């Protein structure tokens, strides 16, 4: 019988690389059958947690290690010194940022919008209700209460504009029953009644999610930067902010088609399948890919969902919702800035969102007034 000491000695030899070929044959053959048929004794939650931790540990690239002809001891001493100063720097730095973040905190966005009538008169909408409804009696809040100053006669058969500021969102049910959720800094132009119209035509800037009541006899069309989207029985999201490089339309359910308006010589129409996202760039070039619609609709469910999203694009979302300006510290290497993965509630205060990003990435933040600085 092999003794414990003997096994130990064999393993030491293996580590030191001093095993004979026979010993290696023995150890590796043992390894090949060791616990081979054991079921995995991890719960799903444990496995998920472990993979998540490994991912976060490995997400930053390890530093290069190169030894020159210098004495290694000296090198280690020098690197220790660097480590101490870097550590100290980050320690003091993190203290300072934390202090700043908490001190100058900013509340999240909320239900805020205005409605503008054809005569230019503008009304602020209550933030206690989440939306408005257009019906025969005019425009009213979705809890059935009247909007002060707007009667049915004022809005009869005319063009209205519902607009949200930065830091606002609102929902509207149009005259045909179609529901539209407007994200921050967005606007929707629509008719108070579609009766007698060939089509139901609305115009969008910013971002909105549509749940269209389908009516083949009176198609629903959304005009936005460079494109017309037409419902064929549909729920879809359009993101066409002017500060975004691409205008993105994502089909959630049903069917729809997109027509690019930029390329007038060669008018292109694309029919989307559920989960398909069509992007149109400034030149009118159309690209399409399959996406996770949960991510696209994160905002509507009060979440920021980042699926491998780069920092710049994530910060644009944050800027619109918290009504802040984002600036990058000079010299910050944007190309090497991290890609974000995960979910954080849009109901959180700004400091909580920024702290989350600090935890999962390498950057730090400073809040001064309504300005957020991204720092290394």
Partner 1 sequence: MPYKRYNDQELTALLKSGDQLAYAEIYHRYHATLYIHAFKRLQLREECRDLVHELFTTLWIKRAEITFKSTLSGYLYTSVRNKIFDFLAKQKLKKTYIQSIQDFAENGLVTADYLVRQNQLKAIIDQEIANLPPRTRQIFELSRKNFLSHQEIAKVLNLSEQTVKTTINNALKVLRTRLGSMFFLSL
Instruction: Check the CA dihedral 124-127-128-130 and report its sign.
Output: positive
Instruction: Give the H or E element holding residue 141.
Output: strand 138-141
361/314 Cα distance (integer angstroms) = 12
Which residues from 214-253 bind partner 1, rule CB under 8 A?
Answer: none
Among 79, 149, 64, which Cα is nearest to 114's? Answer: 149
Report how far residue 40's alpha carbon sits from residue 282's, in angstroms, rounded to the nearest whole number. 51
371 lies in the site for partner 1, by CB under 8 A:
no
Per rule CB under 8 A, count of chain residues that contact partner 1: 62
| 138 interacts with partner 1 by CB under 8 A | no
The widest CA-to-CA distance across the chain, in whole angstroms, is 99
**Residue of 317, 321, 301, 300 lying closest to 309 (CA atoms):** 317
Q: Which of 56, 122, 273, 347 binds partner 1 (CB under 8 A)?
A: 56
CB 372 within 8 A of CB 366: yes
Q: In what helix (H) or strand (E) does residue 153 lie, and over which residues does it extend?
A: helix 152-155
Q: Which is nearer to partner 1, 83 or 271 (CB)?
A: 83
Q: Does 198 bind partner 1 (CB under 8 A)?
A: no
Residue 18 within binding range of partner 1, rule CB under 8 A:
no
Q: Candidates 18, 20, 35, 69: give the one binding partner 1 (CB under 8 A).
A: 35
Q: Is 44 helix (H, G, I), strand (E, B) or coil?
A: helix
Of 18, 20, 44, 119, the one binding partner 1 by CB under 8 A: 44
Between 90 and 127, whose beta carbon lies closer to partner 1? Answer: 90
CB of 72 to partner 1, least distance (A): 16
Q: Is 333 in the site for partner 1 (CB under 8 A)?
A: no
* Neighbouring C-beta atoms of residue 321, cutoff 10 Å: 24
Q: Is 111 helix (H, G, I), strand (E, B) or coil?
A: strand
Closest to partner 1 by CB, 50 vs 199, is: 50
* Shortest distance (Å) from residue 349 CB to partner 1: 17
**Residue 85 C-beta: closest distance to partner 1, Å:** 10
Which residues inside 280-319 make contact with partner 1, applying CB under 8 A? Answer: 292, 294-295, 305, 307-308
Measured over the CA atoms of residue 52, residue 56, residue 58 and residue 59, the dihedral's sign is positive
Three-class SS state of 231: strand
Question: Applying CB under 8 A, which of residues 20, 41, 148, 265 lies at the interface with partner 1?
Answer: 41
| 244 vs 341, beta carbon nearer partner 1 | 341
Q: Which long-range contacts (CB under 8 A, 24 or more apart) does 215-221 make?
A: 215/176, 218/176, 218/194, 220/176, 220/178
- Segment near partner 1 (CB under 8 A); pick from 41-49, 68-76, 181-189, 325-333: 41-49
Site string for partner 1, 87-126 (x = CB under 8 A): xx--x-----------------------------------
Does 11 help bind partner 1 (rule: CB under 8 A)?
yes
| Sequence-ordered strand ranges (E) for 283-336 | 286-290, 303-310, 325-328
CB 219 within 8 A of CB 247: no
Question: Could you say which of 18, 57, 136, 149 contacts partner 1 (CB under 8 A)?
Answer: 57
Residues at the site binding partner 1, with contacts judged by CB under 8 A: 1-2, 4, 7-8, 11-12, 14-15, 25-36, 38-42, 44-58, 61-62, 64-65, 80, 83-84, 87-88, 91, 292, 294-295, 305, 307-308, 341-343, 359-360
């Amino acid at each position: 019988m092999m003794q414990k000491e003997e096994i130990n000695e064999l393993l030491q030899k293996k580590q030191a690389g001093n095993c004979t070929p026979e010993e290696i044959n023995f150890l590796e053959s043992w390894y090949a059958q060791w616990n081979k048929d054991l079921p995995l004794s991890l719960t799903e939650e444990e496995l998920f947690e472990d993979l998540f931790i490994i991912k976060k540990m490995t997400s930053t690239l390890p530093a290069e290690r190169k030894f020159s002809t210098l004495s290694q001891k000296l090198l280690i001493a020098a690197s220790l010194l660097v480590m101490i100063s870097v550590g100290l720097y980050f320690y003091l730095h993190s203290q300072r940022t934390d202090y700043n973040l908490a001190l100058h905190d900013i509340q999240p966005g909320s239900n805020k919008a205005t409605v503008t009538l054809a005569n230019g008169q503008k009304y602020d909408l209550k933030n206690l209700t989440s939306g408005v409804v257009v019906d025969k009696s005019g425009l009213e809040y979705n809890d059935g209460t009247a909007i002060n100053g707007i009667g049915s006669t004022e809005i009869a058969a005319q063009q209205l504009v519902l607009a949200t500021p930065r830091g606002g969102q609102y929902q509207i049910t149009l005259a045909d029953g179609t529901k539209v959720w407007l994200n921050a800094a967005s606007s929707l132009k629509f008719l108070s009644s579609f009766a007698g119209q060939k089509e139901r035509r609305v115009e969008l800037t910013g971002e909105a999610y549509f749940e269209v009541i389908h009516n083949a006899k009176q198609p629903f069309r959304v005009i936005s930067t460079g494109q017309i989207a037409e419902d064929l029985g549909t729920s879809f999201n359009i993101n066409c902010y002017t500060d975004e490089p691409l205008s993105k339309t994502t089909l959630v359910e049903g069917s729809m088609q997109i027509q690019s308006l930029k390329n007038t010589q060669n008018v292109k129409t694309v029919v989307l399948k559920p989960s398909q996202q069509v992007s149109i760039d400034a030149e009118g070039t159309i690209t399409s890919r399959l996406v996770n619609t949960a991510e696209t609709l994160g905002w509507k469910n009060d979440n920021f969902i980042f699926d491998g999203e780069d920092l710049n694009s994530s910060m644009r979302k944050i800027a619109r919702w918290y009504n802040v300006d984002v600036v990058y510290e000079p010299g910050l290497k944007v190309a090497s800035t991290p890609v974000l993965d995960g979910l954080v509630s849009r109901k959180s205060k700004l400091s909580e969102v920024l702290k989350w990003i600090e935890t999962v990435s390498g950057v730090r933040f400073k809040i001064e007034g309504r300005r957020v600085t991204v720092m290394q």
